[in-house]
Chain A
Amino acid sequence: MNETLVIQQRGVKLYDGEDKAKLDVGIALLSTHQLIWRDLKNHECCIAIPLSQIIYFEEQAAGIGKSAKIVVHLHASPANKEPGPYQQSKFSYFKLSFKEHGQIEFFRRLTEELSQKRWESTPMSQPIPTATNSQTGRTRAVGIVGIERKIEERRKETEKISQSKLMVKAKEMVELSRSIANKIKDKQGDITEDETIRFKSYLLSMGIANPVTRETHGSGTHYHLQLAKQLGDILLAPLEERGGMMALTEVYCLVNRARGMELLSPEDLVNACKMFESLKQPLRLRIFDSGVMVVQLQSHSEEEMISSALDNVTDKGSLTAEEFAKLLGLSVLLSKERLLLAEKMGHLCRDDSVEGLRFYPNLFNSQA
């Protein structure tokens, strides 16, 4: 195995010990053999540290106004060290400051490389810096050339993938599906209901957005129908436990945690829930004015929810969403929606201040 690039990160500033280096923001690169910092604009200005020179390194967490840093402590430099932008430093350590984040990944990779010590078993692809530009006193780390080559290779690989059979085929299918969708829209010809459903399932399999929406099935397919039936069974008990209502994100977590694999996508869940009504399931998907989506038990009627909200608020004099949530054992999000609903129906009114949103019985209504 030759020297390989492990990770790179833009937006990194170099500190010589505690001093800000007289260098700009650049790129930090980690290979199996070296840690390199390179000026973004002037690629010839770079500093390469063999990993073997690193005694120890640590993280410095970000603070207010300060970026996170990695502090790297080094052995004393060997006598035959080639010249570089820092001939001598009075510090035995330097810092990398991550202006554009990425420090967590970088730190992990550095830890990995320093524990695996891959440089000990394999040669570097190029020898340690030998080229010197005596005029500027700057060294071009020849190892960089090897790494740049890897970056270029990777870019070429990306191109290869995009031109691969797979992607070419996928592109064809996207175009074909657009043509079909247009024909369906223009109502050209005798497309049966069955064929439309089949077409939608092809789109689903391919991950192509469905441009055709029909009244009868929406974006749903047989898959979503099945899913809706399953959900109708799985969710009954959890819904009862939670006062008849669950946020869709709650449902997503519950169902996927139970499945373990072959998880549902958020879109799968939404599309399945949209079918509850047509399947005459005892559940409904409901969207509040705020955009919050919930699954609701049919048996828990609107009136019940509103009168429960009014009763509780009247009983306590006034309630915030947090207080109501505690009373009912519901999430704050859903308690808020219930209070808002009762307010919308005119049973409650609000006191909106910086101390929070508080609901009172609407005395204008009841004492009118």
Chain B
Amino acid sequence: MHRRGVGAGAIAKKKLAEAKYKERGTVLAEDQIVQMSKQLETFKSNLEEFASKHKQEIRKSSQFRVQFQEMCATIGVDPLASGKGFWSEMLGVGDFYYELGVQIIEVCLALKHRNGGLITLDELHHRVLKGRGKFAQDVSQDDLVRAIKKLKVMGNGFGMIPVGGSYLVQSVPAELNMDHTVVLQLAEKKGYVSVSEIRESLKWERERACHVLDHLLKEGLAWLDSQASGEPQYWLPALFSELTSRDVTPEEANQITP
């Protein structure tokens, strides 16, 4: 009968196992990479199955896209990182967002001469939908936000500023710090703001308020109405609604302002 455990043979065996383990420790990463390539195959077939059930839904339902994205984020995968990724290739989710990115860039560029590179998410949404036409896929504001987050990496200053329950989308590299943001938020209600309003609401010194407003003027984000009754008003074209404004070409703008 064979007895386990004790004895020279067992000790030698254990030593051999330990040595092997140590040796294995140094090659373990390579093994893991091989293991990963096998797992990749399994993953691909799982993704194919998922795609056969949900591919249409992803394209058509913005709600489903939200759920899907949140899930990926929890796990630690970014389905939009690369057009070469499996997510993009098999689910087609990449092309949807990358194309949206192109449309966002184009809308922002077209309106920059008017609003200085700042636009409300609402207006952006409205114009993107208009540009897509009747038969295009449904696009939600959540979709826009995700596409914009991806655009940031290209260094054009894309960012989002929380204002009045929604966002302002910035598409130029103008530096906007907390002071500027707070003034934008203050201006959101009426579309314009004055120095005394800032001093009253935010309790700032006159100089600080003027400094911020000057910066906004320089960056083309605010226009000065020095003929307003009372004191000068600083208007934010980004906050104009379509009802109360009409498009002015750069030439016209140059003629109006002295």
Contact = CB atoms under 8 A, between A and B. Distances in A.
Given A169-B42, A249-B105, A206 B77 contact: yes
B218 A354 contact: yes
19 contacts: A11-B165, A101-B121, A105-B140, A164-B46, A165-B46, A180-B29, A195-B33, A198-B37, A202-B36, A204-B84, A207-B81, A207-B85, A249-B105, A252-B105, A265-B80, A265-B81, A292-B155, A354-B218, A356-B218
Interface residues of A, number: 78
A199 B78 contact: no
A290 B117 CA distance: 15
A206 B85 contact: yes
Contact of B86 (A63, A189, A206, A256): A206
B125 interface: yes
A195 B33 CA distance: 8
A268 B83 contact: yes
A293 interface: yes
Given A64-B191, A101-B165, 16 more contacts: A64-B244, A101-B121, A102-B141, A164-B50, A165-B46, A174-B75, A174-B76, A180-B33, A207-B78, A208-B77, A223-B84, A249-B154, A265-B150, A290-B173, A293-B154, A354-B218
Interface residues of B, number: 82
A19 interface: no
Given A189-B27, A207-B80, A266 B154 contact: yes
A252 B39 contact: no
A332 B50 CA distance: 46
A158 B32 contact: no
B37 A249 contact: no
Contacts of A174: 75-77
Nearest to A261: B95
A262 B72 CA distance: 21
Contact of A100 (B29, B165, B190): B165
A171 to B, nearest CB: 5
Given A164-B50, A205-B40, A171 B75 contact: yes
Interface of B: 25-30, 32-33, 35-37, 39-40, 42-43, 46-47, 49-50, 63, 67-68, 71-72, 74-89, 94-95, 98-99, 101-102, 105-106, 112, 121-122, 125-126, 129, 138, 140-141, 150-157, 165-166, 172-173, 189-191, 214, 217-218, 224, 239, 241-244, 250
B158 to A, nearest CB: 8
Contacts of B86: 205-207
A173 interface: yes
Interface string A251-265: 011001100011111
B239 A64 contact: yes
Nearest to B74: A162
Contacts, number: 222
- The 4 A-B pairs with the shortest beta carbon distances in the complex, nearest first, are A293-B155, A183-B29, A263-B98, A189-B26
Provide the main secondary structure of the chain A interface: helix
A61 B123 CA distance: 11
Contact of A264 (B27, B49, B77, B98): B98
B173 A253 contact: no
A267 B155 contact: no
A190 B31 CA distance: 11
A167 to B, nearest CB: 6
Contacts of A176: 32, 35-36, 39
Q: Which of B36, B72, B190, B244 has the most CB of A within 10 A?
A: B36
Nearest to B35: A176
A270 B155 CA distance: 10
Contact of A291 (B39, B43, B150, B155): B155
Contact of B81 (A61, A64, A209, A291): A209
A368 B26 CA distance: 66
Interface in A169-183: 169-174, 176-177, 179-180, 183
A42 interface: no
A173 B43 contact: yes
A265 B151 CA distance: 9
Contacts of A354: 214, 217-218, 224
B172 A199 contact: no
A78 interface: no
A145 interface: no
B241 A267 contact: no
Given A64-B190, A263-B98, A104 B126 contact: yes
